[in-house]
Amino acid sequence: MLNGVKILFTNKSKENTQCFTNVLDFISWTLKNNNQEIIVQSEIENIKPEDIKNLYEFLMFYKNTKEICNNQAKEYDNKLLNQNYEEIKEAAEEFVRVNQDGKYLRASLVGLGYQTAGKQDDNYKHLSAALEIFQTSILIHDDIIDNAKLRRGKDTIPVSYQKKYSNPIKENDTFETKKTNFSNSMGICVGDLGFYIANQIIVKSYKENPYLANLLEYYNEVVIKTCHGEMLDVILPFKEEYFKTTPQLEDKIIEIAKLKTAWYSVIGPYCLGLILGGIKENQIKIMEEILLKIGVAFQIEDDILGIYGDEKQLGKSITSDPEEYKQTILYSYTIKTNYKEELQKYYGKKLTKQEIDKVKEIFEKSGAKKYAENKMEELFQISEEQLNEIDFIDDKNKNILKGFIIYLKHRVK
């Protein structure tokens, strides 16, 4: 952890010293303030000043890129809302509602990949917007699969539709069932709409670009891998709860992390930016291997936060994973210990605060939490070491990518 960081911020007119007791305060302060040069003054044990500098470089890049991507996304949102039929406009409004307030990490990675390929303009912004729309669409479907109530701190689309249509003029015994089916169906339709809008944005924005065919091929490969990951994520909990433990369960959980998280959250965005920038195919393959480890570590951290995080910061429930019998590395490790039966008592049922606290305790007693944290740290470390070895990325962009890794290590949502 980065603790007790003392930073000297400088600009043309004055110097300003800031002290931070933890990295989250440093991140929050940096994202809210203007770009400045920094000098790391601290010499605290186990803290590398260059790590702090790299984190700062990433945060500055992230903040600037996020603003560009957010402005572009608003343009597409406004176009989407321009509908003739009331019902379709209502559906578009639902999509726009859940498409807002995202972290734009994937969008920023598109920009970083594009910049890494040697480009300095903002032509990546359309591709970034398409990736954000794709992400929102897959999350809409994911929420239906998981029967989730919240996303980004807001009602999911099915929940929103159920609330809108809760007071019928005519009601009978089948109304509640039909309302649930209708709301889920509209969520599926809205998610489908987003998938094709994302594809259309790429085609229209880059129809004169010589790399369009490569972009579409790679984009569709990312989508296919994400769908494969989703399939595994759906079937494994069902098999685990009602049949028997899947052999090599951890291997399959890691495969889900590769397909569903690494490819669509890290590899896909960054490498699509590289492709748009015209980088060589063999260099993309090298980056895929490095980014794959970052993505798997990202998912392991997500699983930890999904149990130990703050619901308000996460924007979703911390009980949903065990309630949905979700297969995580925490679960696969624990069921190989003497705590298997105790843990499974809490899986597949609605949990109280006291019960989720018990689940946390079991993960800690079994060693699962420590195991997951160590595996995550190992993957992050290997990816950094491999990043140091490549010679086709300049130091500036390499340092931003290292800063991204540090940012992921300390995120809370």
Written as one letter, the residue type at 347 is Y
State the Cα torsion 226-227-232-237 to the nearest 10°.
Answer: 100
CB 24 within 8 A of CB 412: yes
Q: Which residues contact 350 (CB under 8 A, 6 or more apart)?
A: 319, 323
CB 323 within 8 A of CB 348: yes
How would you class 213 by CB atoms within 10 Å of its CB: exposed for 0-12, middle for 13-18, buried for 19 or more? exposed
Alpha helices in 309-393 (DSSP H): 311-314, 320-323, 329-334, 340-344, 353-366, 368-389
- The whole-angstrom separation of Cα 346 and Cα 126 is 45
- The whole-angstrom separation of Cα 235 and Cα 229 is 10
Token readout for 130 is 């398409």
CB 297 within 8 A of CB 258: no
Token readout for 175 is 């109304």
Cα torsion 297, 298, 299, 302: sign: positive
- The whole-angstrom separation of Cα 400 and Cα 248 is 36
Per-domain residue ranges of the chain:
1-47, 48-409
Token readout for 121 is 């303009």
pLDDT tens-place values along the chain, 413 residues long: 344 455 555 544 555 667 776 777 778 888 887 666 666 655 444 557 788 889 989 999 999 999 999 999 999 998 999 898 999 999 999 999 999 888 899 999 999 999 999 999 999 999 999 999 999 999 999 999 988 888 888 899 999 999 999 988 887 889 999 999 999 999 999 999 999 999 999 999 999 999 999 999 999 999 999 999 999 999 999 999 999 877 889 999 999 999 989 999 999 999 999 999 999 999 999 999 999 999 999 999 999 999 998 877 766 678 888 998 999 999 999 999 999 999 999 999 999 999 999 999 999 999 999 999 999 999 999 999 999 999 999 999 999 999 999 999 888 77
Residue found under tokens 């498409």 = 99
Give the pLDDT confidence score for residue 364 in this predicted structure: 97
Give the pLDDT confidence score for residue 49 in this predicted structure: 76
Q: Give the pTM.
A: 0.90
Give the pLDDT confidence score for residue 44 in this predicted structure: 46
Q: Phi-psi category of 46—alpha, beta or left, where left has phi over 0 and alpha has psi -120 to 50? A: left
Strand ranges in 32-127 using DSSP code E only, listed in sequence order: 37-40
The secondary structure of 141-210, three-state, reads: HHHHHHCCCEECCEECHHHHHHHHCCCCCCCCCCHHHHHHHHHHHHHHHHHHHHHHHHHHHHHHHCCCCC
Written as one letter, the residue type at 302 is D
Residues linked to residue 344 through DSSP beta bridges, in sequence order: none
The secondary structure of 277-295, three-state, reads: CCCCHHHHHHHHHHHHHHH
- The whole-angstrom separation of Cα 257 and Cα 326 is 13
CB 305 within 8 A of CB 145: no
User: Which class is 48-409 in CATH?
Assistant: mainly alpha
CB 293 within 8 A of CB 378: no
φ/ψ (deg, to 5) at 320: -65, -35
- The whole-angstrom separation of Cα 201 and Cα 77 is 12
